[in-house]
Amino acid sequence: MARPASLQPTEVELQILRILWQRGGATAREIHNLLAEVEERETTYSTTVKMLSVMLDKGLVKRDETASPQVYRAAASQKHTQRKMLRDLIEKAYDGSAMSLVMQALSSTRATAEELAEIRQMVEELEGRQP
Protein backbone atom coordinates (compact mmCIF):
# COMPACT_ATOMS: atom_id res chain seq x y z
CA MET A 1 0.00 0.00 0.00
CA ALA A 2 1.87 2.97 -1.09
CA ARG A 3 2.30 5.70 -3.53
CA PRO A 4 4.30 5.25 -6.71
CA ALA A 5 7.57 7.13 -6.79
CA SER A 6 6.93 10.64 -7.98
CA LEU A 7 8.23 11.56 -11.40
CA GLN A 8 8.83 15.21 -10.65
CA PRO A 9 11.77 16.40 -8.60
CA THR A 10 10.75 17.37 -5.11
CA GLU A 11 11.04 20.80 -3.57
CA VAL A 12 14.48 20.27 -2.06
CA GLU A 13 15.74 18.51 -5.13
CA LEU A 14 14.73 21.51 -7.20
CA GLN A 15 16.54 23.86 -4.89
CA ILE A 16 19.69 21.88 -5.53
CA LEU A 17 19.05 21.65 -9.26
CA ARG A 18 18.59 25.41 -9.45
CA ILE A 19 22.01 25.86 -7.95
CA LEU A 20 23.59 23.40 -10.35
CA TRP A 21 21.89 24.97 -13.35
CA GLN A 22 23.23 28.36 -12.38
CA ARG A 23 26.78 27.34 -11.61
CA GLY A 24 27.19 24.44 -13.96
CA GLY A 25 28.80 22.24 -11.34
CA ALA A 26 29.54 22.39 -7.64
CA THR A 27 30.98 20.36 -4.79
CA ALA A 28 28.83 19.10 -1.97
CA ARG A 29 30.19 21.78 0.32
CA GLU A 30 29.47 24.56 -2.14
CA ILE A 31 25.97 23.31 -2.65
CA HIS A 32 25.44 23.12 1.05
CA ASN A 33 26.63 26.66 1.63
CA LEU A 34 24.51 28.05 -1.18
CA LEU A 35 21.46 26.24 0.12
CA ALA A 36 22.02 27.87 3.46
CA GLU A 37 22.62 31.34 2.05
CA VAL A 38 20.25 31.57 -0.86
CA GLU A 39 17.47 29.28 0.27
CA GLU A 40 17.95 29.91 3.94
CA ARG A 41 18.05 26.25 4.78
CA GLU A 42 19.20 25.34 8.27
CA THR A 43 19.99 21.71 7.68
CA THR A 44 23.32 20.05 8.26
CA TYR A 45 25.99 19.24 5.74
CA SER A 46 25.13 15.60 6.25
CA THR A 47 21.63 16.18 4.97
CA THR A 48 22.86 17.92 1.85
CA VAL A 49 25.19 15.05 1.03
CA LYS A 50 22.37 12.58 1.58
CA MET A 51 20.08 14.50 -0.75
CA LEU A 52 22.79 14.43 -3.38
CA SER A 53 23.18 10.69 -2.99
CA VAL A 54 19.43 10.19 -3.34
CA MET A 55 19.40 12.38 -6.42
CA LEU A 56 22.29 10.43 -7.83
CA ASP A 57 20.28 7.23 -7.40
CA LYS A 58 17.32 8.82 -9.11
CA GLY A 59 19.49 10.00 -11.96
CA LEU A 60 18.77 13.65 -11.30
CA VAL A 61 22.44 14.53 -10.95
CA LYS A 62 25.71 13.21 -12.28
CA ARG A 63 29.00 13.19 -10.44
CA ASP A 64 32.58 13.64 -11.50
CA GLU A 65 34.46 11.24 -9.27
CA THR A 66 37.87 12.09 -10.62
CA ALA A 67 37.78 15.59 -9.20
CA SER A 68 39.16 15.73 -5.68
CA PRO A 69 36.16 17.10 -3.97
CA GLN A 70 33.66 15.40 -6.25
CA VAL A 71 31.78 17.71 -8.54
CA TYR A 72 28.04 17.38 -9.06
CA ARG A 73 26.16 18.42 -12.17
CA ALA A 74 22.50 18.40 -13.15
CA ALA A 75 21.71 15.40 -15.34
CA ALA A 76 19.02 17.18 -17.32
CA SER A 77 19.00 20.76 -18.59
CA GLN A 78 16.85 23.36 -16.96
CA LYS A 79 14.84 23.75 -20.15
CA HIS A 80 14.14 20.06 -20.32
CA THR A 81 13.06 19.89 -16.72
CA GLN A 82 10.94 22.99 -17.05
CA ARG A 83 9.17 21.55 -20.05
CA LYS A 84 8.35 18.39 -18.17
CA MET A 85 7.03 20.19 -15.13
CA LEU A 86 5.06 22.58 -17.27
CA ARG A 87 3.39 19.79 -19.17
CA ASP A 88 2.60 18.11 -15.89
CA LEU A 89 1.02 21.22 -14.42
CA ILE A 90 -1.05 21.75 -17.54
CA GLU A 91 -2.36 18.21 -17.30
CA LYS A 92 -2.96 18.25 -13.58
CA ALA A 93 -4.42 21.67 -13.03
CA TYR A 94 -5.42 23.13 -16.39
CA ASP A 95 -7.32 20.18 -17.83
CA GLY A 96 -4.69 19.87 -20.53
CA SER A 97 -5.16 23.36 -21.90
CA ALA A 98 -1.82 25.09 -22.33
CA MET A 99 -3.50 28.19 -23.67
CA SER A 100 -5.55 28.57 -20.56
CA LEU A 101 -2.33 28.52 -18.57
CA VAL A 102 -0.72 31.08 -20.86
CA MET A 103 -3.60 33.47 -20.49
CA GLN A 104 -3.62 33.21 -16.76
CA ALA A 105 0.13 33.70 -16.58
CA LEU A 106 -0.19 36.75 -18.77
CA SER A 107 -3.05 38.31 -16.90
CA SER A 108 -1.65 37.78 -13.45
CA THR A 109 1.81 39.15 -14.06
CA ARG A 110 3.12 42.57 -14.83
CA ALA A 111 5.28 42.32 -17.91
CA THR A 112 7.54 45.00 -19.27
CA ALA A 113 6.91 46.48 -22.69
CA GLU A 114 9.89 44.61 -24.04
CA GLU A 115 8.61 41.30 -22.80
CA LEU A 116 5.17 41.89 -24.20
CA ALA A 117 6.64 42.83 -27.56
CA GLU A 118 8.67 39.68 -27.56
CA ILE A 119 5.62 37.57 -26.85
CA ARG A 120 3.53 39.33 -29.45
CA GLN A 121 6.24 38.70 -32.00
CA MET A 122 6.32 35.06 -31.11
CA VAL A 123 2.54 34.76 -31.39
CA GLU A 124 2.63 36.44 -34.78
CA GLU A 125 5.27 34.05 -35.96
CA LEU A 126 3.20 31.12 -34.82
CA GLU A 127 0.17 32.57 -36.58
CA GLY A 128 2.11 33.04 -39.78
CA ARG A 129 3.27 29.49 -39.73
CA GLN A 130 -0.30 28.24 -39.82
CA PRO A 131 -2.17 27.61 -43.09
Q: Is 35 within 8 Å of 15 (Cβ atoms)? A: yes
Backbone angles phi, psi at 86, to 5 degrees: -65, -50
Contact partner at residue 18 from DNA, a second copy, none, CB < 5 to 8 Å by partner kind = a second copy
Q: Which stretch binds a second copy (CB under 8 A): 24-32, 52-60, 63-71, 74-82?
A: 74-82
Distance CA 107, CA 120 (A): 14
Pick 5 or 65: Cβ nearer a second copy? 5
Dihedral-angle region of residue 84 (phi above 0 means left; psi in -120 to 50 means alpha; beta otherwise): alpha
Any contact of residue 74 with DNA (CB under 7 A)?
no
Contact partner at residue 82 from DNA, a second copy, none, CB < 5 to 8 Å by partner kind = a second copy
Q: Is 71 within 8 Å of 20 (Cβ atoms)? A: no
Least separation, in Å, of the C-beta of 8 and DNA?
8
Residues near DNA (CB under 7 A): 1-6, 10-13, 27-29, 41-47, 49-54, 68-70
